[in-house]
A and B are shown apart, each in its own frame.
Chain A
Amino acid sequence: MAITYLHLIFLALAGFTLLCALGVVASRNLFHSAIWLIGAFAGVAGLYWLLEAEYLAIAQIMIYIGAIATLIVFAIMLSRGMMIGRVKMNNFQAGISAVVAALLFLMLSFVLLQVNWPVVEQAVSVDPIPMIGEAFVTTYVIPFQVIAVLLSVALVGAIMIARER
């Protein structure tokens, strides 16, 4: 398989995403971690778009960068202790998490290498958005309604937790 410039774009995006992800865990300032996280989200959105999943990329930007990242920054700002000074990088659970992370990494690599991924040579020819929209209300109608129930439960739960104070 010849290396095209798309491979280079992929490598650049993947490298950028990994770098940002590393920044999230390595940064000693929580706000900087949040900024790195936004970068990582953007990198993942770029990867989706490179795979011609425009809708998924935009959903990633809209929900993760536009909403979740803001939520995380608010959460950081709400807890005064976290804003001042540097956070300690380790706690007593560091060893256990390292083992779990290593196991997860091994499992994911195993899956990646073992599964025979179907590859399509040609580009997507039709506009997938109407097909996604149709699938929401026909094939995947039960998950679609479960999402609605889940979202309203999340809304009620969020209000109950936040109003306790």
Chain B
Amino acid sequence: MNIFEFIRDPSQIGPWFNEVLLSTGMQPWVANLIGDIIGVLLVVIVVLSSAIMLIWLERKIAARLQDRLGPNRAGRYGLLQTLADIVKLLTKEDVTPDGADRVSFNLAPALMVMQIIMVAAIIPVASGLVGANLSVGLLYFVAMSGIASIGALMAGWASNNKYALLGGFRVVAQLMSYEIPLAFSLLAAVIWTGTMATNDLAIKQGELLFGFIPGWNIVVMPFAALIFFISILAEGERAPFDLLEAESEIVAGPNIEYSGLKFAWFYLQFFVNSLLLACIFATVFLGGWQGPFVDQFPILGVGYFFAKSLIVLLALMWVRATYPRLRIDQMMTFCWKVLVPVTLVVVLIVAIGARVTPDRNINAVIISVANIVALFVTLGIVGRSLRRDVERRKAALPGAYTAQV
């Protein structure tokens, strides 16, 4: 094994390392244990170091989109800003409010961090380069988001603060509601690709439709991808779905009373969670690490994967920096009366469409067209009901509304 072989295909390093350990006469289970511990440490280090870059990137991009400068004092272009923040947060006094429930107050940030680290394990960065290619991968991802909502609820309850508790309730209501369209849009992708394991999903999307169109799931089911994108906006607690940390209403959500490093863990969870959601989007709908020449040089997959993830992340940031936030009733209504019925329809479209003809290429076209038709029908129905709503309000308040509209 030479160094060039590893650079060409980094997924060889794990088995090679295992063999080296075994050749020293080690018990197999000890070798596996050492390999796993190193793998876990790698995942944790990647998560923490990506957060440092990510926070700077998000602040800078949000600032530029809103015609501000953003961080520009610490280091060139403000690149050292996050490091300065870490030093500041580490040396901040840690305040536990009166009447707080100490056990849950300290456990809550730990659960938040645990969620992002657990999800990071199933992200396939390049062919075979994944923490654990679980056969239940996507279900595991959906299950882990439950841990974050428990953590937020715990933080809200433990703080003994009315705003925090209200924020905690909002977090849980939002995360659990949008978990349904999230899970069902993933289900549509699983029906088409026939696997839940994240690395296998990327492999399956490598096939070409009609020999030249990339068989990415976003091509086959654009509407499911759109629903998933909306759901990750909500799951990532980003505007227009950021009412759980609305500064003007409930101050900052469940993490009001947290200070110092415990606050930093919440902050970290917010940013890294967005990146991971973008990575899942890239894996499930944009073909993951697939791209030209990945078969010969799997290392290229790392570049493709991060390029795709960063494009999705940029879209998330753009939406966050642009739109105002929704009210809680609008948020819940949109989820349960629009997204949930529509995702069920999309699941049925994909399930039926995959069986119309024996030819997979023609089925892909049928599903794709049906998806676009469903999208426009949905937009038409929603638009009409919104217009009716406005008309009704105008009729109820003749003077006030006609003057403005």
Contacts and interface: CB of A to CB of B under 8 A. Distances in A.
B18 interface: no
B104 interface: yes
Contact of A31 (B104, B146, B176): B104
Interface string A73-87: 110010000000000
Interface residues on A, range: 20 to 34
Contacts of B150: 38, 65-66, 69-70, 73
Interface stretch (B37-45, B133-141, B215-223, B248-256): B133-141
Given A5-B29, A66-B149, A67-B176, A58 B136 contact: yes
A55 B139 CA distance: 9
Nearest to A83: B157
Interface in B179-217: 179, 196
A164 interface: no
A70 B157 contact: no
B103 A127 contact: no
Contacts, number: 61
Given A31-B101, A32-B103, A62-B142, A127 B135 contact: yes
B145 interface: yes
Contact of A129 (B29, B104, B136, B157): B136
A113 B136 CA distance: 33
Interface in A81-130: 127, 129
Nearest to B33: A5
A24 interface: no
Nearest to A128: B135
A4 B29 CA distance: 10
A124 to B, nearest CB: 11
Contacts of A29: 101
Given A62-B139, A66-B146, A35 B196 contact: no
Given A70-B176, A73-B153, A61 B146 contact: yes
Contacts of B179: 66
A69 B148 CA distance: 13
A129 B153 CA distance: 32
A126 to B, nearest CB: 10
A129 B197 CA distance: 11
Nearest to A32: B103
Interface residues of B, number: 25
B22 interface: no
Contacts of A55: 136, 139
A35 B104 contact: yes
A61 to B, nearest CB: 4
Contact of B157 (A4, A31, A59, A62): A31
B276 to A, nearest CB: 17
B52 to A, nearest CB: 30
Contacts of B157: 31, 73, 77
Nearest to B165: A77
A66 B153 contact: no
B107 interface: yes
Contacts of B103: 32, 35
Interface of B: 29, 101, 103-104, 107, 134-136, 139-140, 142-147, 149-150, 153-154, 157, 172, 176, 179, 196
10 shortest interchain CB distances as A-B pairs? A66-B146, A62-B143, A61-B143, A58-B136, A58-B139, A54-B136, A58-B143, A127-B135, A58-B140, A129-B135
Interface of A: 4-5, 29, 31-32, 35, 38, 54-55, 58-59, 61-62, 65-67, 69-70, 73-74, 77, 127, 129
Given A55-B139, A70-B153, 4 more contacts: A31-B104, A65-B143, A66-B147, A129-B136
